[in-house]
């Protein structure tokens, strides 16, 4: 029997991508059910859970699932307002909401309410504030209004009972057990209580130790020092000998409103505040400092950080109340960004970058689409912005190419106004005519190249190839094949007048990338025929980029992938998506000092190793300006800095600082569907259970021949860059 099998490898396209080192942001625009975020938690399976004031969110690396209360479903969420989450050592996953406690069943994807009783025996559905499993296995539940409860398990039965006369407070804010098995309980109306391993208690109250009603979090460092935070009074460290709390002052804001503490890397405590962003406490230097996450497109300084998590592979998750959830990758690359998405520093406006060039002074020139040209100083400050005006000597609006010749003349090629020499001090443009006949003026200038004889070669879109003596400014047009029926391989002229790119090589050849393949001119003999031996090279391909490798080979970026040309044999090797490229649409090619090629495309940047023929791809989530780059917008500055322009600005970097993450994906089956219906424990096919466990834990699925249309949903548990899988 023919079986219809649909294999669905699903990875989430996140709603908002940031750049720099950058994190990825999940927001209510596409992913989350609410921006009123309370807690983030990762369970034993690696699933990310997010408690909000409007539903519980589950992210498995493939998709978000939102759980809410359903009126007629007793196994739905108790309340849409979820306060806290906790998984015990047995793998039981608890959810605390405004009106009770539940346990999540992974196999049936359902929630079971845990009965809770007052010490009098009366049932109650309290507001759950904290859940804590002690070292001895006890699970304590702190509530807002009914003090403490303890979980009781008898066989398959589970309930929670109020602990009578435990502490003189009904308002439990926070619970914590330290490494010495001291139990700390912070209340909302009666200070802090400590119970040692012998159950002897100590009560801390009064402003001398820590302000009442404001304790927000506790954690320990590697040495076992205990830290307690306050929403009104900042950070404190517990002095065991004196049995008191000592304030750790943050000079810019002594009353730092701390919401969450989280043990970070060695000698660091992460501090999330309620409106003052992220801080880090250095336990060695005993100093609170700003968190240096290098997130350029999100202002951390005023963020409300309500939850922090370091996941199993080292990514840092930050929960921004009323904003969203950001992931900061475990391993970051030093891609640098310039553009409008930078919240701190944008010097090039918001228009698409069409061309880039660094001159002999180190000034970066940025040509834009409809916003003129920018001059950026070596320290990345704005030197000048020349905009188009009605003055006949103003810069053009759209600048397709920028080039500095050996006499330090700065040339710009425009989309509609021809070619001009730019005065870098004043922005005044001296326009040159590329034809003696006004009716034949060529206005679209796409590329430049200079040979060893101080000749500037000019590639135009529709007007063919020109060359100019940079000393005399005399301009000559090369002959162009105008009759399509003429055999260009027998006539000494350029075969196509639509030119995207030019490359002058060490062999004295000028390669010409056109909308109909590759041309080549032997400049010494002014011969278009012999360099390619009358052969049509990449006939029909649109060529956007050209580069001469360190070994003299020619690399060609086309609309159909990357091509390698051996100039001697004229053999061509092709590389496409099937070989590892992120896209077949090649925008620019540059080479670093190690011989790696860096290739910008309309879907990311790829680093190609010609020796082992391998590609490593980088995307917007790695810190690029975006995934889409502009044709020809690239520059290599002494090979120690590569610059690429695109729709969202500029990506620039030192290739030596870019590393590759070699982690192996952890492939999981996240969901299984039969006729588009999600499989859960208890469902049958042909009278037999399809699975006897949760789908993620199942090692086989039993189906009847009648259930012949099914789909499997996978996740590589790659939360940050699913596009690279």
For the chain, the average pLDDT equals 88
Which 3 state secondary structure label does DSSP give 578?
Answer: helix
Of the pLDDT bands very low, low, confident and very high (cuts 50, 70, 90), residue 532 is confident
* Range name among 3-12, 132-141, 657-666 with the lowest pLDDT average: 3-12
Indicate yes or no: pTM above 0.75: no
Alpha-carbon separation of residue 506 from 157, 449, 511, 534, 554 (angstroms): 81, 13, 11, 22, 11
Which 3 state secondary structure label does DSSP give 579?
Answer: helix
CATH 2.40.10 fits 352-440, yes or no: yes
- pLDDT at residue 122 above 70? yes
Of the pLDDT bands very low, low, confident and very high (cuts 50, 70, 90), residue 334 is confident
What tens digit of pLDDT does each residue of 346-369 get? 899 999 999 999 999 999 999 999
Question: Per the structure block, which two tokens stand in for 284?
Answer: 């060695």
Question: Which residues are CB-neighbours of 198 under 8 A, at least 6 positions away?
Answer: none
Mean pLDDT for the stretch of residues 23-40: 92
In total, the chain counts a number of residues equal to 725
What tens digit of pLDDT does each residue of 551-564 get? 999 999 999 999 99
- pLDDT at residue 5 above 70? no
CA distance 538 to 114: 70
- pLDDT at residue 150 above 80? yes
CA distance 230 to 210: 8
Mean pLDDT for the stretch of residues 86-113: 96
Strand partners, 280: 270, 289
Count of beta carbons in the 10 Å neighbourhood of residue 579: 14
Please tell me the predicted confidence (pLDDT) of residue 533.
75
Please tell me the predicted confidence (pLDDT) of residue 661.
57
* Range name among 20-24, 44-48, 68-72, 268-272 with the lowest pLDDT average: 20-24
Q: Mind giving me the DSSP string for 357-383?
A: EE-TTSPEEEEESSS-EEEE-TTS-EE
What tens digit of pLDDT does each residue of 180-190 get? 999 999 998 88
Ranges of each domain in the chain: 352-440
What tens digit of pLDDT does each residue of 604-639 get? 999 999 999 999 999 887 888 999 999 999 999 987
Strand partners, 521: 510
What tens digit of pLDDT does each residue of 649-694 get? 999 999 998 876 555 677 888 889 998 888 998 898 888 998 999 8
Residue 437 Cα to chain centre, angstroms: 52
Phi, psi of 620 (to 5 degrees): -55, -35
Mean pLDDT for the stretch of residues 288-301: 76
CA distance 234 to 246: 11
Strand order of the β-sheet with 353-358 is 353-358, 364-368, 373-376, 382-386
DSSP state of 620: G
- pLDDT at residue 208 above 70? no
Check: CB of residue 103 under 8 Å from CB of residue 92.
Answer: yes
Region of residue 583 (phi > 0: left; psi between -120 and 50: alpha; otherwise: beta):
beta
Strand partners, 86: 94
H/E element, 296: none
The candidate with the shortest Cα–Cα distance to 238, out of 220, 222, 216, 251, is 220
- pLDDT at residue 385 above 60? yes
Please tell me the predicted confidence (pLDDT) of residue 123.
96
């Amino acid at each position: 029997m023919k079986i219809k099998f649909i294999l669905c490898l699903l990875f989430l396209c996140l709603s908002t991508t940031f750049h720099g080192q950058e994190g990825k942001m999940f927001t209510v625009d596409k992913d989350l059910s609410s921006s009123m975020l309370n807690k983030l938690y990762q369970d034993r399976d690696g699933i990310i859970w997010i408690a909000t004031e409007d539903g519980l969110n589950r992210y498995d690396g493939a998709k978000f699932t939102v759980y809410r209360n359903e009126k007629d479903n007793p196994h739905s969420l108790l309340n849409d307002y979820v306060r806290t989450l906790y998984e015990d050592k047995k793998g039981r996953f608890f959810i605390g909401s405004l009106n009770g406690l539940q346990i999540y069943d992974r196999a049936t994807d359902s929630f079971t309410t845990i009965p809770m009783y007052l010490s009098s025996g009366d049932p109650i559905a309290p507001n759950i504030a904290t859940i804590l499993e002690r070292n001895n296995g006890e699970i304590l539940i702190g509530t807002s209004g009914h003090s403490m409860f303890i979980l009781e398990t008898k066989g398959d039965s589970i309930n929670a009972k109020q602990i009578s006369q435990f502490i003189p407070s009904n308002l439990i804010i926070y619970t914590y057990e330290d490494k010495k098995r001291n139990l700390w309980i912070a209340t909302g109306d009666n200070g802090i209580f400590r119970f040692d391993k012998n159950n002897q208690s100590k009560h801390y109250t009064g402003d001398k130790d820590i302000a009442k009603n404001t304790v927000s979090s506790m954690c320990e460092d590697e040495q076992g020092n205990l830290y307690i935070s306050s929403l009104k009074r900042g950070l404190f460290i517990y002095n065991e000998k004196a049995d008191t709390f000592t304030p750790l002052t943050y000079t810019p804001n002594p009353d730092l409103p701390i919401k969450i503490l989280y043990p970070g890397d060695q000698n660091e405590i992460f501090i999330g505040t309620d409106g003052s962003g992220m801080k880090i406490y250095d336990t060695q230097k005993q100093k609170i400092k700003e968190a240096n996450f290098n997130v350029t497109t999100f202002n951390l300084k005023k963020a409300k950080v309500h939850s922090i998590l370091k996941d199993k592979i080292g990514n840092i998750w930050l929960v921004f109340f009323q904003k969203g959830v950001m992931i900061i990758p475990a391993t970051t690359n030093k891609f640098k960004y310039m553009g409008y998405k930078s919240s701190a520093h944008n010097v090039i406006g918001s228009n698409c970058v069409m061309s880039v060039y660094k001159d002999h002074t180190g000034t970066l020139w940025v040509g834009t689409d409809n916003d003129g040209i920018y001059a950026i100083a070596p320290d990345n400050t704005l030197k000048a912005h020349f905009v188009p005006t009605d003055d006949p000597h103003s810069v053009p609006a759209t600048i397709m190419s920028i080039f500095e010749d050996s006499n330090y003349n700065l040339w710009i090629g425009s989309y509609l106004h021809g070619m001009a020499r730019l005065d870098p001090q004043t922005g005044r443009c001296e326009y040159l005519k590329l034809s003696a006949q006004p009716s034949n003026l060529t206005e679209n200038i796409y590329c430049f190249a200079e040979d060893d004889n101080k000749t500037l070669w000019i590639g135009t879109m529709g007007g063919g190839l020109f060359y100019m003596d940079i000393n005399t400014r005399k301009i000559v047009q090369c002959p162009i094949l105008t009759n399509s029926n003429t055999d260009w391989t027998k006539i000494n002229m350029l075969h196509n007048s639509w030119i995207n790119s030019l490359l002058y090589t060490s062999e004295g050849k000028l390669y010409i990338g056109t909308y109909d393949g590759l041309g080549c001119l032997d400049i010494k003999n002014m011969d278009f025929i012999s360099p390619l031996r009358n052969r049509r090279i990449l006939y029909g391909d649109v060529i956007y980029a050209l580069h001469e490798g360190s070994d003299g080979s020619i690399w060609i970026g086309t609309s159909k992938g990357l091509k390698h040309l051996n100039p001697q044999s004229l053999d061509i090797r092709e590389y496409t998506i099937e070989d590892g490229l992120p896209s077949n649409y090649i925008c620019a090619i540059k080479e670093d000092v190690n011989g790696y090629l860096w290739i910008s495309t309309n879907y990311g940047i790829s680093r190609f190793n010609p020796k082992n023929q391998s590609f490593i791809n980088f995307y917007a989530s790695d810190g690029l300006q975006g995934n889409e780059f502009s044709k020809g917008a690239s520059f290599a500055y002494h090979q120690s800095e590569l610059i690429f322009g695109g729709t969202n600005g500029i990506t620039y970097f030192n290739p030596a600082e870019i590393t590759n993450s070699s982690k192996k994906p952890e492939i999981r089956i996240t969901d299984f569907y039969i006729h588009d219906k999600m499989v859960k424990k208890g469902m049958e096919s042909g009278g037999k259970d399809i699975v006897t466990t949760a789908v993620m834990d199942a090692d086989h699925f039993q189906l009847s021949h009648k259930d012949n249309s099914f789909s499997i949903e996978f996740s590589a548990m790659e939360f940050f860059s699913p596009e690279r899988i």
